Chain A
């Protein structure tokens, strides 16, 4: 029997029962759409988390005071109650090229939530008091104006670089802000630059911040005792040396704070670790979601099998007649397999379109809610879903088709 003939027979029999055909296909459509949208949302989440961690810098390490609470063997929390604050001297010590060759730059940071006002508006934002290496370490650049220099830090200059969200909130504009005056914690600062937007990240908006010199921050905005700082950003010489840098930081800090291994009063966070942790979590999440979606695809396949069995039972007489006029077993097998695989293939294609639509819509909703999520429909996911749906159609179609093909012509003709 020619292929054209098989296709014509298939279309005519599927058209004969449009509602049933549609409903059967719907099972596959929903299954494939679920797989596609879940995988793409998982991929999108992974991308956006990676991107936001990357925007911080992969060769970045973060040193903060205090240890992570650990569950000690003796039971209960093991808090170190003798925490020494980080100081500017600590930051200075990390720049030792002999003891810390893997460290390229160090940036001590003061950080606080402060009210800011200008143009009759007030808002609350995060203010960072930093030294000049901070900008290169954190990949912060300005879209207009300039960053401050070492001299401005040394002279306690009242200059500020603002994120564009601050501009939007206070002036309703994102440009032409250089030279304007802003009140930070009721102190007058002059805006000298606007940060390039990094967009919303999974950790909140990176655009709602103000950066000022560390010295000015200590004087007027974020009061701290002596030369204490809140955290120290450290840049390793490359992404490959972050773990060495981490070890060197710990060695230096243990000496300076006179603590032994296991009793540290500081914490070093490695961005590369964070990245791999985050991506393995989202990876597990997408496999989990994809797996649940695959179950619905399986259910759709069982739906196909069910309907094909009904169809074989209904058309027993037709099968008998076809055999009487010369159809071989494999002609009947081909005919029923063509129907079930066409159902699942077309269902799969519609499912890909629907799944893509769903993921785009979910992406838009997430963006509207303030979380940047760009669902990525990958070629792999499409191939996987298509192959899987054809496999489902063949697998669940083969039993009913064999049943039809092996019918005895006499008995098939006799059935009502």
Chain B
């Protein structure tokens, strides 16, 4: 079953900073098949964060086409993009981005509360997701009461709760010591393996990238190296 999840053709992205135009992406094309685990590497300014936000439907490309999990997302409205993000994409950030004033459970339940489906089972699903990342004993804890590794695991549970097609992790281990970082990587890779969830990891750490199936290198807004 070699189904394509990400089909991006000639993506361009131009930022206007005052008078100056910055070309962050210069006609980048990328295909990702379901269940792949890809690392995306590149120096700062290479456009990898821009690529991530366009692939994650957080931003629109200036040109090119993008089909995500069978849906053409190039011309969608803000609300439609929000719905795509909600259903198909799970984000994991370097700085966790948890809501500090609510419990781990509430944090994980957040994506369910923004989804259209019946939310009656939201708390159960959130609790199951926390169990899947091994935090069933930390359900009522607030982020400030958890270690960095635990906070990132809450974020992973939040990313998984709506059973997305793709997990997008932007430097997921950047704020962690190497031991917790490795635990997070193991967790992400296990979901990739067991649930066939596509995994995109943006990193500049070669040891992290080495654990993915393939590593794609980006420089100056185009793919420099794709070993596939």
Contacts and interface: CB of A to CB of B under 8 A. Distances in A.
A325 B87 CA distance: 9
Contacts of B86: 325-326
Given A13-B101, A325-B158, A327-B114, A410 B82 contact: no
Contact of B83 (A13, A326, A413): A326
Interface in A1-17: 1-2, 5, 12-13, 15-16
A329 B101 contact: no
A324 B53 CA distance: 10
Contacts of B87: 326
Q: How large is the interface on A (under 10, 10 to 19, 20 to 34, 35 or more residues)?
A: 20 to 34
B119 A326 contact: no
A322 B78 contact: no
8 residue pairs, one from A and one from B, having the closest CB atoms? A326-B86, A326-B114, A325-B111, A16-B101, A321-B97, A328-B82, A409-B58, A410-B53
Contacts of A330: 79
Interface of A: 1-2, 5, 12-13, 15-16, 317-318, 320-331, 408-410, 413
Contacts of A327: 82, 114
Given A324-B85, A326-B83, A413 B114 contact: no
B167 to A, nearest CB: 13
B59 interface: yes
Given A12-B101, A325-B91, A328-B79, A5 B59 contact: no
Given A2-B119, A321-B99, A408 B59 contact: yes
Contacts of A326: 82-83, 85-87, 111, 114-115, 162
B110 interface: yes
A322 B115 CA distance: 12
Contacts of A15: 101
Interface string B77-115: 011001101110001010001010110001000110111
Contacts of B106: 12
A325 B85 contact: yes
B56 interface: yes
Contact of A1 (B58, B97, B113): B113
B58 A413 contact: yes
Contacts of A2: 113, 119
A1 B114 contact: yes
Interface of B: 53, 56, 58-59, 78-79, 82-83, 85-87, 91, 93, 97, 99, 101-102, 106, 110-111, 113-115, 119, 158, 162
A413 B97 contact: yes
A324 B110 contact: no
Nearest to B82: A328
A15 B97 CA distance: 20
Given A12-B101, A317-B97, A318-B99, A324 B56 contact: yes
A329 B85 contact: no
A321 B83 CA distance: 14
Contacts of B56: 324
Contacts of A322: 110, 114
Contact of A329 (B58, B78, B102, B115): B78
Contact of A409 (B59, B113, B158, B162): B59
B58 A410 contact: yes
Q: Which of A12, A15, A413 has the most CB of B within 10 A?
A: A413
Contacts of A328: 78-79, 82-83, 114
A5 B91 CA distance: 22
Contacts of A318: 99
B56 to A, nearest CB: 7
8 contacts: A12-B102, A318-B99, A326-B87, A326-B111, A326-B115, A326-B162, A409-B58, A409-B59
B114 A325 contact: yes
Contacts of B93: 321, 413
Contacts of B162: 326
Contacts of B158: 325
Given A323-B58, A328-B82, A410-B58, 9 more contacts: A15-B101, A321-B97, A322-B110, A325-B91, A325-B114, A326-B83, A326-B114, A326-B115, A329-B82
Contacts of B78: 328-329
Contacts of A409: 53, 58-59
B137 to A, nearest CB: 23
A327 B82 CA distance: 6
A327 B114 CA distance: 6
Contacts of B113: 1-2, 5
B228 to A, nearest CB: 28
B85 A5 contact: no
Contacts of B97: 317, 320-321, 324, 413
Q: Which of A2, A326, A329, A413 has the most CB of B within 10 A?
A: A326
Contact of A324 (B58, B83, B102): B58
A323 B82 contact: yes
A331 B114 contact: yes
A408 B158 CA distance: 21
A329 B59 CA distance: 14
Contacts of A1: 113-114
Contacts of B115: 326
A6 to B, nearest CB: 9
